């Protein structure tokens, strides 16, 4: 099970390392296992109108973790936080939601419905950007290393991959239309990690893609992971650089990369060159991936960095195999 603890801690660290004092990030939402996060609450750095909230304030009521449902997920909500119109409309302050949630594995429609509910929730917290983990829809291919994913001509692997392809996202088929409508309805931008069944590649190749939907509900970029990592290459194809672009949200120029791409100097540099000052790194989960690179990117680029992971539990996968 991936641990989101370091992701939150790393984000806080990066905020303290940022060299631009005129712009501030306000973290108001994080979805993750509550018991794993609360221990790190005193180390979080939150900002209110440019002033850092001290740990004592956070512990006394400015930040509170609330259980979201019975699945083990929870969200960080700011209670008694003065989100007045001046603060929410200040272009130099960007409120972001970090949605570290589990998919309804191998179920595109149900996972997208869940994502939409978190978009609505983030909007109620007055977020202007909400970020989800890598390959969240319809889920990361965890089965490969546990079921002999490279076994030649395996009926089991053929069956799983066939279902994976059926459940993959194809924007041209309208799979993201409702999510785009939710973005437009709420005036919020979205970064969503998904498995894309690319129509312009014959509809047979799958890509690990990071989709950016702007506040008007329009898909502005679909970045296909340049090179899948390890066994990911058994199911995901190699992407290209067409999606390496940044997007303007208020005073911020936002860009994003998938997982191991964040370790690629030239991929990062391509975003830096476009004026990126908020970097979004999405991951399937695991603090071993994010502990060092999140902070390093912040120091290298002199920008804010948000690392957002997905969540996968044993019972999520077994539900699929027992269907």
Instruction: Tell how far CA 153 is from the center of its chain.
Output: 34
Please tell me the predicted confidence (pLDDT) of residue 286: 75
Catalytic residue selected from 134, 196, 261, 276: 134
180 as an active site residue: the answer is no
Q: Is the peptide bond before 138 cis (omega within 30 degrees of 0)?
A: yes
DSSP H or E stretch at residue 253 = strand 252-258
Query: What does the mean pLDDT of the chain come to?
Result: 77
Confidence check: pLDDT of 69 > 80: no
Catalytic residue selected from 14, 232, 259, 261: 259
114 as an active site residue: the answer is no
Catalytic residue selected from 127, 180, 225, 232: 225
Please tell me the predicted confidence (pLDDT) of residue 217: 98
The pTM of the whole model exceeds 0.85: no
Q: What is the mean pLDDT of residues 94-107?
A: 90
Please tell me the predicted confidence (pLDDT) of residue 259: 94
259 as an active site residue: the answer is yes
Please tell me the predicted confidence (pLDDT) of residue 320: 67
Which domains are delineated in the chain?
5-315 (3.60.110.10)
321 — pLDDT class (breaks 50, 70, 90):
low
66 — pLDDT class (breaks 50, 70, 90):
very low
Please tell me the predicted confidence (pLDDT) of residue 290: 81
Please tell me the predicted confidence (pLDDT) of residue 125: 86
Q: What is the mean pLDDT of residues 46-75?
A: 33
45 — pLDDT class (breaks 50, 70, 90):
very low
Please tell me the predicted confidence (pLDDT) of residue 1: 36
Q: pLDDT digit string (tens) for 244-280?
A: 999 999 889 999 999 999 999 999 999 999 999 999 9
Structure tokens at 285: 């989960």
Please tell me the predicted confidence (pLDDT) of residue 48: 29
Confidence check: pLDDT of 133 > 80: yes
């Amino acid at each position: 099970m991936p641990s989101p603890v370091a992701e939150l801690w790393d984000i806080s660290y990066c905020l303290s390392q940022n060299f631009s004092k005129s712009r501030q990030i306000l973290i108001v939402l994080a979805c993750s296992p509550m018991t794993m996060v609360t221990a790190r609450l005193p180390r979080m750095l939150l900002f209110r109108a440019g002033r850092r909230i001290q740990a004592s304030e956070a512990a006394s009521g400015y930040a509170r973790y609330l259980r979201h449902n019975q699945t083990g997920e929870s969200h960080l909500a700011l209670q008694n936080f003065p989100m007045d119109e001046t603060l929410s409309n200040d272009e130099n302050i960007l409120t972001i939601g970090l949605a570290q949630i589990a998919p309804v594995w191998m179920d595109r429609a149900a996972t997208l419905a869940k994502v939409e509910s978190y978009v609505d929730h983030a909007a109620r917290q007055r977020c202007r950007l909400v970020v989800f983990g890598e390959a969240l829809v319809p889920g990361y291919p965890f089965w490969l290393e546990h079921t002999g994913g490279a076994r030649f001509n395996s009926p089991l692997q053929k069956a799983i991959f066939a279902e994976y392809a059926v459940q993959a996202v194809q924007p041209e088929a309208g799979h993201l239309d409702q999510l785009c409508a939710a973005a437009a309805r709420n005036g919020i931008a979205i970064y969503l990690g998904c498995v894309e069944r690319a129509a312009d590649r014959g509809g047979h190749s799958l890509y690990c893609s990071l989709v950016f939907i702007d506040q008007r509900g329009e898909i502005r970029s679909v970045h296909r992971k340049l090179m899948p990592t390890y066994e990911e290459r058994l199911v995901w194809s190699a992407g290209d650089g067409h999606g390496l672009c940044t997007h303007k949200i208020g005073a911020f120029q936002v860009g994003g990369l998938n997982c191991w791409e964040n370790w690629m100097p030239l991929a990062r540099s391509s975003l830096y060159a476009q004026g990126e000052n908020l970097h979004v790194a999405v991951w399937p989960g695991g603090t071993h991936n994010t502990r060092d690179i999140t902070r390093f990117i912040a120091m290298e680029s002199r920008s804010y960095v948000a690392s957002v992971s997905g969540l996968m539990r044993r019972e999520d996968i077994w539900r699929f195999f027992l269907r």
